[in-house]
Amino acid sequence: MAASSPVSKTIYLGPFAHCVTLAELEICEKGVIGVDEQGVIRFVEKEVEIEDLRAKFEGWEDANVVEARNGFFFPGFIDTHTHAPQHPNTGLFGKTTLLDWLDTYTFPLESSFSSIDKASRIYTNFVSRTLSHGTTTCAYFATRHVEATNLLADICLARGQRALVGRVCMDRLSPDYYRDESVERAVRDSQACIDYVRSIDAAGSIVRPIITPRFAPSCTAPCLAGLGKLAQETDAFIQTHVSENTSECELVKELFPDSASYTHVYEEAALLTPKTILAHAIHLSPEERKLIKERGSKISHCPASNTALTSGCCPVRELLNEGLTIGLGTDVSGGFSPSILEEVRHAIWTSRFVAMGTPTASTPTLNNAAKLSTAEALYLATRGGAAVVGLEDQVGGFEVGKQFDAQMIQLGSVPEEGDREGAFGEEGAGGPVDLFGFESAEEKVEKWVYSGDDRNCVAVWVRGRLVHKTARYKA
């Protein structure tokens, strides 16, 4: 589906849900959202009877009407951290942990993106996959290759998916066949990608560049400093990894013996800014968290990856209590799914593992305060993520003035006894979520969160433009 399809004035009719605050998930059963030709939300009504529709919205008599049946509209998901070139390795991690996983699976695959044909095949497929799971904005790590990185930006722009696209920098501790030959090269190639992405979308309304040092162990101090300087000169976003795995943290201590902490390595290179996204952040000290907060840098929580690579359980509830800004990341292929809905579930599970902890004599009971609620995890997936990628004024919820980045969720109705056809005709067409008719609006959302998948995501819009639909979508 091309992003060039025109946007018509449209009234989105039917239930919608969105997170108003971290604690509050608002669900409106008789919702109406009016979106203009620029994809901007012009009105939001929460209690409208269908019969009143045309009369009520003067000037909107000719608007299209798109109705959510047996489901609801939900804001598009924001994936604050993933690796597009690692998509073919999804599900392949065995019993590795971070450092051997990089050597075994990741570097060999990423290095092959010198082939633009290969990059084209994988990136086209991955952007389709993330869109089909309702991801309307994505922060992508690409590879070292300028041409392939620029191609990823082209694909996101053509498909209409908002993206931050970054060329990965690494000038040490990676194989000879996959390493920046010098600091100058890392900075020059990063600059080339920034220039390219800004040349294809000067306003940055869909694609924006992001400076991407892979992580401290694979960058020398001069390389990190060169990228920090580049970030200042270009006012670009920055993304990297921090404190994911204890062996990695030890390695950083060895490589940067004069730095007070892992986070200080980035601080010393001027890489901690309000436009910085730090992935994982599992093993941070209180001082490091304080520094990140002071700098206004953001955190991408990647719970599926953290469990797959046995990196640890990030104490997200604590970080939220401390006022850090947090979104969710799929971190493919450390993570094994391109779905932020899956990450919502993993964020909730991880918070429960933190809550269960290891009972000790001093804390023998469950630490309920560590748990994330469904609403809180959905907040991280939408509004929290929007703040991480600098789009908090534009997307993440349904308010007048925001842009319509949304997904239409449709659930399955189990037929009444005697109704052999069923609500959606063929069996299984309702996806994995079965409704029996008793469910409240809240229960429908809960059922989707815990057992839904991309089959329930029947249409996706970015700035009011339809960017993905399934056969079940009937406009």
343 binds Zn ion (CB under 5 A): no
Instruction: Judge if the upstream peptide bond of residue 333 is cis by omega within 30 degrees of 0.
Output: yes
User: Which of ligand XAN, Zn ion, none does 412 bind, CB closer than 5 to 8 A by kind?
Assistant: none
Site for ligand XAN in 320-339 (CB under 6 A): 331, 334
User: Which of ligand XAN, Zn ion, none does 106 bind, CB closer than 5 to 8 A by kind?
Assistant: ligand XAN
The whole-angstrom separation of Cα 121 and Cα 139 is: 19
Part in contact with Zn ion (CB under 5 A); list of ranges 63-71, 204-212, 312-320, 331-339: 331-339
User: Least CB distance from residue 98 to ligand XAN, whole Å?
Assistant: 6
Radius of gyration (Cα) for the chain, nearest Å? 22
Binding string, residues 87-106; x marks residues near ligand XAN by CB under 6 A: -----------x---x---x
Site for ligand XAN in 267-306 (CB under 6 A): 305
79 binds Zn ion (CB under 5 A): no
Pick from 331, 343, 376, 454: which binds Zn ion (CB under 5 A)? Answer: 331
N residues, the chain: 475
Give helix then strand counts, H and E, for the chain. 16, 21
- Bridge-based pairing of strands 71-75 and 406-410 is antiparallel
Side chain identity, residue 361: A
83 binds ligand XAN (CB under 6 A): yes
244 binds Zn ion (CB under 5 A): no
Among residues 10 and 89, whose Cβ is nearest to Zn ion? 89
Part in contact with Zn ion (CB under 5 A); list of ranges 11-19, 279-287, 312-320, 369-377: 279-287
Number of residues that bind Zn ion (CB under 5 A): 2
Pick from 215, 237, 336, 461: which binds ligand XAN (CB under 6 A)? Answer: 215
What torsion, rounded to 10 degrees, do the Cα atoms 356, 358, 359, 365 define?
-20
The whole-angstrom separation of Cα 341 and Cα 74 is: 12
Among residues 218 and 261, whose Cβ is nearest to ligand XAN? 218
- Burial of 24 per CB tally in 10 Å (0-12, 13-18, 19+): exposed
Q: Which residues bind ligand XAN (CB under 6 A)?
A: 83, 98, 102, 106, 214-215, 241, 244, 305, 331, 334
Q: Which residues bind Zn ion (CB under 5 A)?
A: 279, 331
